Amino acid sequence: MANSSCSDVKVLGAWPSPFVTRVRIALNIKSVKYEFLEETLGSKSQLLLQSNPVYKKIPVLIHGGKPISESLIIVQYIDEVWSSGPSILPSDPYDRAIERFWAAYVDDKIFPSMKLINTAQGEEKAAIVEQVTEGLVLLEEAFQKSSKGKAFFGGDRIGFLDIAFGSMLGWLRAIEKMGGVKLLDEAKTPGLVQWAESLCADGAVKGIIPDTEKLVEFAKILVKMKGVPLGKN
């Protein structure tokens, strides 16, 4: 399918959201021009409420006036609609299933636990860090199998799982900084350390994953809004 104009493709999102980051990376991979409509923190636009009346959450992709919600569903939609660009999902059904499995693992296990690190303290915090680390070690093993010695989970090019997990890198680094912890390190996850560097240097990703310091400041604002203290080291 030919590239669409900005008026045909819109993304409702917010810069700190890793789920919005997924959509933007996928569109960049396919060289699709789009209009980014920034949602305001603490409020929901009428367009968002109309476009996603079920969950009322970002991201939402609006293509030709039709809204699509949920980040991984949107990424798969982008891959199918703009099929002339580089493939995001593997062509092999088994490989597709494996990447979807690990993408769900990132969303269901790793990211929810990561978010708890900086509001926990003492033994509770140590246990959460250990849980996240164990999950990342499993992802390291998955990377070694699926990458086959290449730079990405998808091989030579960024693929579905690269987008799913890579979108979390900004927050992972911010959480490391705020919590005084190390989640990705050369000893336990050497492949993922190198993978993260390669991903962030890729043209489709550069400038999309938020800056660590900016996310740290944003996290402090969220804490003030919600009244949840940051945990101590």
170 phi and psi, to 5 degrees?
-60, -45
Q: Would you say 164 and 111 are in contact if contact means Cβ atoms under 8 Å apart?
A: no
In a domain, 192, yes or no: yes
pLDDT band at residue 232, thresholds of 50, 70 and 90? very low
Q: Would you say 103 and 161 are in contact if contact means Cβ atoms under 8 Å apart?
A: yes
Q: Which tens digits make up the pLDDT trace of 64-105?
A: 999 999 999 999 999 999 998 899 999 999 999 999 999 999
Q: Are residues 109 and 201 in the same domain?
A: yes
Q: Are residues 193 and 155 in the same domain?
A: yes
pLDDT band at residue 222, thresholds of 50, 70 and 90? confident
**What's the CATH number where 54 sits?**
3.40.30.10
Q: Are residues 132 and 212 in the same domain?
A: yes
Q: Are residues 69 and 141 in the same domain?
A: no
Q: Are residues 43 and 117 in the same domain?
A: no
Q: Which residues pair with 161 in a beta bridge?
A: none
**Domains in the chain, number:** 2
What is d(CA 48, CA 97) in angstroms, rounded to the nearest whole number?
Answer: 31
Q: What is the pLDDT of residue 226?
A: 73
Looking at the predicted structure, is the pLDDT value of residue 233 above 50?
no
Q: Which tens digits make up the pLDDT trace of 120-175?
A: 999 999 999 999 999 999 999 999 999 999 999 989 999 999 999 999 999 999 99
Q: Are residues 56 and 157 in the same domain?
A: no
Q: Are residues 115 and 206 in the same domain?
A: yes
In a domain, 1, yes or no: no
Q: What is the pLDDT of residue 42?
A: 82
Q: Are residues 48 and 103 in the same domain?
A: no
Q: Which tens digits make up the pLDDT trace of 15-72?
A: 999 999 999 999 999 999 999 999 998 899 999 999 999 999 999 999 999 999 999 9
Domain residue limits at 219: 93-226
In a domain, 221, yes or no: yes
pTM across the whole model: 0.93
Q: Are residues 73 and 97 in the same domain?
A: no
In a domain, 42, yes or no: yes
Q: Are residues 118 and 193 in the same domain?
A: yes
In a domain, 47, yes or no: yes
Both tokens of residue 1?
């399918």
Q: Would you say 225 and 42 are in contact if contact means Cβ atoms under 8 Å apart?
A: yes
Beta-carbon-side half-sphere exposure of residue 113 (alpha carbons within 13 Å): 19
Q: Are residues 127 and 201 in the same domain?
A: yes
Q: Are residues 111 and 180 in the same domain?
A: yes
